[in-house]
Amino acid sequence: MGKLNFSGLKMVTPDNMICYCRQVTQKEIEAAVKLGARTLSAIQESTGACTGNQCKELNPSGKCCSGDINRLLKNGTSESVKHGCCS
């Protein structure tokens, strides 16, 4: 579980769940990046993240995980992602 910062907001930690549909953690996505995944499609293929369709029901934020994954990729993707797994 993430730690709280001084403002009470949850901070991202390597064990944070990113994809609630497929139970993929930040640590797993970072490992895929270290192995060469550089786009959302590559993350989807290597981890299964962002391949479900229940984000609104399972993710506490009620959002698709594609935005979180793209942030982890540090916007270094050449892939223009207009739709995530829940579109």
pTM equals: 0.72
Q: What is the pLDDT of residue 74?
A: 76
**pLDDT digits 0-9 by tens, 56-78:** 889 998 999 999 999 999 744 44
Instruction: Give the Cα separation of 49 and 29 in Å (integer).
Output: 8
**pLDDT digits 0-9 by tens, 2-43:** 454 444 445 555 578 999 999 999 999 999 999 999 999 999
Q: Is the pLDDT of residue 49 over 70?
A: yes
Q: Which CATH superfamily is domain 17-72 in?
A: BFD-like [2Fe-2S]-binding domain (1.10.10.1100)
Contacts of 68 (CB under 8 A, 6+ apart): 18
